[in-house]
Amino acid sequence: MQGDWPDGAKFCVSLTYDIEQCTNFPYWTCVWDHEKGAIDAESRRHVSDLAACAQAAGVLFQWFALGQSFTPADVSYLQDLSLAGHPIGNHTYRHVNVKAREWEQVQITYNLDPSLRDGSATPLDAIRNEIQQTSAVMEQRLGVRPAGFRTPGGFTNGLDDAPQIQELLQKEGFAYVSSHYNLPISLPRHQGYPIATETRPSREQLQDAMRASIRSLQPYRYSNGLLEIPMMGISDIWAFRVLDLDRAEWLSLMELGVDIAAEEGLLFSILMHPSVLASRDPHAATARRVVERTLRKGGAVVTNDQIAAHLAG
């Protein structure tokens, strides 16, 4: 599939945003794991600022949202996105682990409130319900069904070890899944999670990891035909939570990602979160600089939905 991009562009960049609350943002002590869909006012406003950026440049961004975020009476910030033409994909209802085999692995909310298991014989049933409920509430409140699905959390092996989820997504009619993420860099682990407190990788190591990630994570299909559009390079979570980068360091890695895609005719699909960037990049420099650089170098800013439609022929 390499080198085959919409509108004959020589390379592509997709800016993707998962609309959810992220633990450790805006303050390190913030914990949102049990209420990922409770989008705060500042993050909602940042979504609108990002949409304004896209409109000014005449491009569209790719978004993913939780079903839970559609429960408030006022979801105009999401409806405005959709009306402006931005595709919003399905990110499950409560940000569940789609590879869970045991109830304890599904989501902390399922442990806090076991009644959520009612009507589901197995974790897989609950995961199916989560996905179906999200598509239904999105269709009801936006008037369009989501075409794409993004797994909560990325997996370094995509859905290779989860054929049941490949099947489920195919049956639900999704045009693609976005589940594969890998930044090949080794870090010491802190409480089971990689975190660079004292030993940060060098700039050269990060640049090498960006290049390796983008090269190895181009779109591909699983054996059942389901399209995978991976998340590439460094995500905002890795930059600001795991590696504690400064904004300038993050921006220079984003520009490098565009340059790699331009040189090698690749897709650079970036994973970001409005609730992270609202505090770390409040004036949306990332979106503006990535879009400007991509267009200046002759590339196209596209959505994952557009890539999937193009690759489907």
- Closest CB to Zn ion among residues 237, 290: 237
The piece of 6-14, 150-158, 189-197, 244-252 that touches Zn ion (CB under 5 A) is 150-158
Inter-residue contact 47 to 275 (CB < 8 Å) = no
Write the DSSP symbol of residue 297: T
CA dihedral of residues 8, 151, 284, 196 (deg, nearest 10): -120
Between β-strands 220-221 and 148-155, what pairing exists: parallel, antiparallel or unpaired?
A: unpaired
In whole angstroms, the minimum distance from the beta carbon of 151 to Zn ion comes to 8
Cα of first residue to Cα of last residue in the chain, in angstroms, is: 11
For Zn ion, give the closer residue by CB, 133 or 252: 133
Report how far residue 83's alpha carbon sits from residue 81's, in angstroms, rounded to the nearest whole number.
6
CB-based burial label for 89 (10 Å; 0-12, 13-18, 19+): buried
**Dihedrals phi, psi of 227, to nearest 5 degrees:** -80, 135
* DSSP β-ladder status, 12-19 and 227-228: unpaired
Q: Of 14-22, 160-168, 176-184, 287-295, which part binds Zn ion (CB under 5 A)? A: 14-22
Q: Which is nearer to Zn ion, 68 or 286 (CB)?
A: 68
Strand partners, 148: 176
- Shortest Å, Cβ 211 to Zn ion: 25
State which residue has the least CB distance to Zn ion. 18
Phi-psi region of 225 (alpha: psi -120 to 50; beta: other; left: phi over 0): left
State the minimum distance, in angstroms, from the CB of residue 28 to Zn ion.
19
Task: Tell me: does residue 236 bind Zn ion (CB under 5 A).
Answer: no
Q: Considering only the stretches 20-28, 80-88, 106-114, 298-306, report the one whose residues sit in contact with Zn ion under the rule CB under 5 A.
A: 20-28
Please report how close the Cβ of residue 92 comes to Zn ion at its closest, in angstroms.
8
216 in Cβ contact with 182 (< 8 Å) = yes
Question: Which pair of tokens denotes residue 45?
Answer: 């406003």
Stretch near Zn ion under the rule CB under 5 A, chosen from 5-13, 140-148, 149-157, 302-310: 149-157
- Total residues interacting with Zn ion, rule: CB under 5 A: 3
Could you tell me what percentage of the chain is helix, strand and coil, using 3-state DSSP and rounding each to the nearest 5?
45, 15, 40
Q: Is 18 near Zn ion (CB under 5 A)?
A: yes
Residue 128 or 150: the one with the smaller Cβ distance to Zn ion is 150
**At its nearest, how many Å lie between Zn ion and the CB of residue 87?**
16
Nearer of residues 82 and 178 to Zn ion, judged by Cβ? 178
Pick from 152, 154, 230, 274: which binds Zn ion (CB under 5 A)?
152
Q: Supply the minimum distance, in Å, between the C-beta of residue 25 and Zn ion.
A: 12
Site for Zn ion, residues 187 to 226, rule: CB under 5 A: none
Closest CB 93 distance from Zn ion, rounded Å: 12
Cα separation, 233 vs 213, whole angstroms: 5
Amino acid at 99: K
Report the interface residues with Zn ion, using CB under 5 A. Answer: 18, 20, 152
